[in-house]
Amino acid sequence: MFEIKVPATSANMGPGLDTLGVAFKLYNRFIVEEIESGLEIFGCNKEFANNNNLVYTSMLKTFKKLQKDPKGVRLTFKTEIPVSGGLGSSATCILAGITAANKLCGDVLTKQEVLNYACEIEGHPDNITPAMIGGMTVSIMNEGANHYNKIPINGSIKFCALIPKLQLSTKSSRAVLPETIPFKDAVYNVGMVSMLIVSLVNGDYEGVKLACKDKLHQPYRMGLIKNYSQISSFVKESEALGVFLSGAGPTIMVMLKKDDSNTEGKLKEFLKGLSGSWETLNLEIDEDGLNIENI
């Protein structure tokens, strides 16, 4: 019996569509135990406690890839990350499933091979990579292989997640994206993502404020999230460093100076005046990524 711990992640980070992501100290934990036969699932909503569970289907795909016949398995979920909330819950499930099957098969796959296969299942590397590796990462896929680098975010910058009581699937959020974009929009985003990375490393506050802008996905997705425009406008007019849609949404991520509690307090008061229910959550960066230990 063993436990797999996988951190939450925020992907895209504004202009870095399907490329940038950062891991946080908010976790989904999965206890895996091999049994004689069948599937037993505990600790998750009833709608997910079946053969279509993403952890389980990821395990089955891995067993098939490794040409192994699985026994039964008992899965116990201890989750902190909202489902379909834009904080990488599906990435944690995919990584947990592949890692669990790999361990039950004797750790046949290397860490890099697990990473590559997880990206193949997920379809993009921006959540998978930081969840596996930790920290902030820039990652790309090339001929089926994940290539990444960690980005050391300046310690003077902190993150605050604004989480609504709303679920928004990645599939629904991707459906609103255009099939083609103007060349000038592509060039715009190349500049912004380059500026954002350098500014986060150097602690260049003005650069961070400028470089959260995007023309590839956020303008198309913002209409799916009630009050996004109001929140974004409020943050941009405050002393906050930046605001962006976390992954496919609906969570909104705000970057602040580490010692700025004043803006954080004003933001909480502003959210109280909006319709719906919003939770604010301060998040520390997780530098370690996925962890597995015997219990």
> Does the annotation list 106 as a binding residue?
no
Hey, what CATH topology would domain 2-151+286-294 get?
Ribosomal Protein S5; domain 2 (3.30.230)
Q: What is the pTM of this model?
A: 0.95
Does the annotation list 240 as a binding residue? Answer: no
Per the listing, tokens 């604010």 go with: 280
Q: Is 100 annotated as a binding residue?
A: no
| Tokens describing residue 171 | 């599939």
pLDDT tens digit sequence for 223-232: 888 888 999 9
pLDDT tens-digit map of 174-210: 899 999 999 999 999 999 999 999 999 999 999 999 9
**Assigned CATH for 157-283:** 3.30.70.890
- Strands of 71-156, DSSP E: 72-79, 136-142, 145-151
Helix or strand or coil: residue 151? strand
**Phi, psi dihedrals of residue 163, rounded to the nearest 5°:** -115, 115
Q: Band the pLDDT of 212: cuts 50, 70, 90.
A: very high
Cβ distance 11 to 245 under 8 Å? Answer: no
Which residues of the chain form CATH 3.30.70.890?
A: 157-283
Tell me: is residue 276 an annotated ligand-binding position: no
Element (H, E) at 262: helix 261-272
Q: Environment class of residue 254 by beta-carbon count within 10 Å: exposed (0-12), middle (13-18) or buried (19+)?
A: buried
Q: Could you tell me where in the chain the CATH 3.30.230.10 domains are found?
A: 2-151+286-294
2-11 and 252-257 as β-strands: parallel, antiparallel, unpaired? unpaired
What whole-number distance in Å separates Cα of residue 277 and Cα of residue 197? 32
Predicted confidence at residue 118, as pLDDT, reads 98
194 is in an annotated binding site: no
Average pLDDT, the chain: 95
Q: Is residue 22 a known part of a binding site?
A: no
What's the distance, Cα to Cα, between the start and end of the chain in Å? 6
- Token pair 């089926």 in the structure block, residue: 144
82 annotated as ligand-binding? yes
- Relative to beta strand 136-142, strand 291-294 is unpaired
Rounded CA-CA distance 43/45 in Å is 7
Q: Is 91 annotated as a binding residue?
A: yes
Q: Is 90 annotated as a binding residue?
A: yes
- What is the phi/psi pair of residue 69, to 5°? -95, 115
Determine whether the annotation assigns residue 275 to a binding site. no
- Is 83 annotated to bind ligand? yes
